[in-house]
């Protein structure tokens, strides 16, 4: 290669050197600089997307916390037993409620006698929607008088 280079005229040697430098710079750009630059741009875009996602998650987390706080205020912040008792009595089922007893911190058992079935369902729906209290088990017996039932329920505080 040296012999070939030195056999050329000085003018041609300068052209070969300049072309060698240009090709060397092009290779450095194509093989080193360009991939690093593209990778940096991709990582910057990913970081921006992750920051945007983090901001959204933080905002949503705050909204969830506020909604949970609102739900807790809706129950009066009281225990399950008092919440169920208040809701049942407010719906007009107080006289039909014969027994109400707790079963641990998050369960309550209720017995109803000669209670209006439609009012019972409305009251249970209100407990579920307003206070996140769900039915764990239920036993309903129809009475001879139309629309009245005897019922035994176990309610549990949902999430």
The 10s digit of each residue's pLDDT in 56-87 is 999 998 888 777 766 555 444 457 888 888 88
Rounded CA-CA distance 80/133 in Å is 8
Q: Identify the pLDDT of residue 106.
A: 83
Tokens of 32: 């080193």
Average pLDDT over residues 118-134: 89
Rounded CA-CA distance 101/110 in Å is 7
Q: Identify the pLDDT of residue 77.
A: 44
Tokens of 41: 């741009």
């Amino acid at each position: 290669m040296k012999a070939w280079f030195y056999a050329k005229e000085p003018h041609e040697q300068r052209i070969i050197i300049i072309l060698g430098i240009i090709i060397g710079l092009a290779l450095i750009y194509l093989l080193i600089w360009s991939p690093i630059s593209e990778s940096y741009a991709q990582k910057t875009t990913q970081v921006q997307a992750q920051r945007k996602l983090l901001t959204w998650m933080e905002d949503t987390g705050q909204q969830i916390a506020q909604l949970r706080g609102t739900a807790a205020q809706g129950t009066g912040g009281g225990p399950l037993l008092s919440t169920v008792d208040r809701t049942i009595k407010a719906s007009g089922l107080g006289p039909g409620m014969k027994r109400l007893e707790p079963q641990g911190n998050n369960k309550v058992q209720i017995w109803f006698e000669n209670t209006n079935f439609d009012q019972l369902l409305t009251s249970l729906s209100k407990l579920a929607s307003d206070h996140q209290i769900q039915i764990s088990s239920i036993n309903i017996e129809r009475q001879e008088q139309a629309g009245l039932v005897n019922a035994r329920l176990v309610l549990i505080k949902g999430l």
